[in-house]
Structure 1
Amino acid sequence: MTRPLASMCTLCLLCTAAWKAEAQELSAAERSDAPPVAEASPQTRLELDAPNLLVPTLHASALMLSMRVAEAYIWPEPFAESPSHWGAHYEEAFTLPPKWDSDARAFEWDGDPWYINVIGHGLFGSELYLRARHCHLGVAGSLLFTSAASATWEYGFEANGVRPSGFDLWFTPLSGLVLGEGRYWAWRAAGSVGQKTLRGVLRAVLDPFGELERAAGTRC
């Protein structure tokens, strides 16, 4: 359990360094994309805030805990096994390579259905990435954060039931980069919509959890 957590802490530090490097190269054109100050609330003027690791870390932890509980309910075998079996599963996770079967069907190399791997982990990665991106970690920092969270999911949350997936370890962060970056820029573009209600609806559709958290008072 300590190895994935230590890995996440190390990569989170790298996230901050990556954000600082990207911030120095931020162009005036990107800054001009923000909504006018007269129309923007403090929650939408995100570029003015410092990088924040706490919010995306808490968000990722709550998300993964919810996913793990849902797994145990939907697939009790193997995700709801007795804790007496956890030690053997963790030993297998850390002593054997991640699951990968080159002879399996495309996108099912770890034994899971393609829609869980592609759609499920794509949305999972984009949610992790988008939260980090909104909290000013930059592209590189958000990708590192998503990679760390994905490894923590595979080796921490899920490894007491199944061996880590070689496909999920790389697909989750990369799909998170593509989908999450698209959601981020679409969310920003929605800020230019003049009608307040429509603007709020669009942003809620693009980032429902983030909008709820910002409404509750989070900085990003």
Structure 2
Amino acid sequence: MPRTIAASLTVLILASWGRAAASQESASSEPTRRLQLDEPNLLVPSLHAGGLLLGMRLGEAYIWPDPFADPVSSWGEHYEAAFTQPPKWDSDAPPFEWDGDPWYINVVGHGLFGSELYLRARHCRLGVVGSLLFTAAGSTVWEYGVEANGVRPSGFDLWFTPLSGLVVGEARYWAWRASGSVRQKALRSILQALFDPLGELERFAGTPC
């Protein structure tokens, strides 16, 4: 009888120890999984930005061939002006037209441009500050690297694009997240495509964020 009791106690102790060890292993592996899920992805927003800049530049050349479709031989002169002269800014111009462009291009166009850069970075877990810095970098590359072979950089666009990207992009991000709680699948898909059309297309194609 004592041997039976001792054997039973041994089995209970070993079983309890096994469950405790399994629970500890599960708890220790959970933070690792969370860290992997939360890891920022810079590649996807960078490729997204590259495609966006290329599409915008080709669109400019088609809509405004002068100066955006000038011969390649003139690019050196344009880049020299971009890096040796200050960005375009005329304080006497009407509001939001300080760089010589119409207000709707500056406000609406660059607002959407900035929000698209910001939103893609935000979805890929760069955070608010990281997404803002990414948008500012994208705006600088556009002004000094992509568009500068046609015109000098815009003093207005350089600060308005990141700022509007933060405001509009963050609003789009939270609207997209809120639409994910809609139970009706078709309506949920429509809303998410409305708030982030390019991102939804890319995720449908297999991007991780």
* TM-score, normalized by the shorter chain, greater than 0.5: yes
Q: For residues 137-180 of structure 1, give each alpha carbon's deviation from its aligned partner in whole angstroms, at most 9, with x where no partner exists.
A: 00000000000000000001100000000000000000000000
**Runs (5+) with no aligned partner, structure 1:** 1-44
- Match of residue 60, structure 1, among 22, 37, 49: 49
Q: C-alpha root-mean-square deviation of aligned residues, in Å? A: 1.2
State yes or no: 1:69 paired with 2:58. Answer: yes
State yes or no: 1:104 paired with 2:99. Answer: no
CA distance in 2, matches of 1:143, 1:185: 16
Q: Aligned partner of 1:54: which letter?
A: L
More contact order relative to length (CA 8 Å, sep ≥ 6) = 1
Task: Report the CA distance between 1:50 and its aligned residue.
Answer: 1.3
State yes or no: 1:219 paired with 2:205. Answer: no
Task: Report the CA distance between 1:48 and its aligned residue.
Answer: 3.0
Say which one has the larger Rg.
2
The equivalent residue for 1:129 is 118
Q: For residues 178-213 of structure 1, give each alpha carbon's deviation from its aligned partner in whole angstroms, at most 9, with x where no partner exists.
A: 000000000000011001111010000000000000
* Matched residues, number: 175
Q: Aligned partner of 1:201: which letter?
A: I
Task: Report the CA distance between 1:49 and its aligned residue.
Answer: 3.6
Q: Aligned partner of 1:81: which letter?
A: D
Q: Aligned partner of 2:195: which letter?
A: L
Give TM-score scaled by structure 1 length: 0.78
CA distance in 2, matches of 1:170, 1:211: 28
- Match of residue 192, structure 1, among 181, 184, 189: 181
Q: For residues 76-109 of structure 1, give each alpha carbon's deviation from its aligned partner in whole angstroms, at most 9, with x where no partner exists.
A: 0000000000000000000000000000000000
- Match of residue 109, structure 2, among 120, 124, 135: 120
Q: Equivalent residues in 2 for 1:158-177 (5 A)?
A: 158-177=147-166
Q: Where does structure 1 differ by over 4 angstroms across 4 or more consecutive aligned residues?
A: none
The equivalent residue for 1:81 is 70
Give TM-score scaled by structure 2 length: 0.82
CA distance in 2, matches of 1:173, 1:162: 20
CA distance in 2, matches of 1:139, 1:115: 26
Richer in helix (by share): 2
| Percent identity between the two aligned chains | 77
Q: For residues 117-144 of structure 1, give each alpha carbon's deviation from its aligned partner in whole angstroms, at most 9, with x where no partner exists.
A: 0000000000000000000000000000
